């Protein structure tokens, strides 16, 4: 499976660290993404895991 990305359509790319402590898992969403998607406390994001290990994260509307 291939996911092609047109770099002309990419607005922001970054990496963040994942924190796992016991059953608690946390990741930090960069401020630029929170602001651009207008994410709020208790808002939802959808995680899609592909068989090849790629992950797509998107805002649930």
What pTM does this model have? 0.68
For residue range 23-58, what is the model confidence (pLDDT) as tens digits? Answer: 888 888 889 889 999 999 888 999 988 888 888 898
Nearest to 30 by CA among 53, 9, 57, 4: 57
In this prediction, residue 16 carries a pLDDT of 80
What pLDDT does residue 14 have? 84
């Amino acid at each position: 499976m291939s996911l092609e990305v047109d770099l002309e359509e990419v607005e922001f790319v970054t990496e963040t660290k994942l924190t796992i402590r016991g059953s608690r898992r946390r990741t930090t969403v960069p401020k630029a993404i929170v602001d651009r998607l207008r994410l709020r406390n208790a808002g939802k994001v959808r995680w899609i895991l592909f068989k090849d290990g790629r992950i797509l994260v998107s805002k649930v509307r």
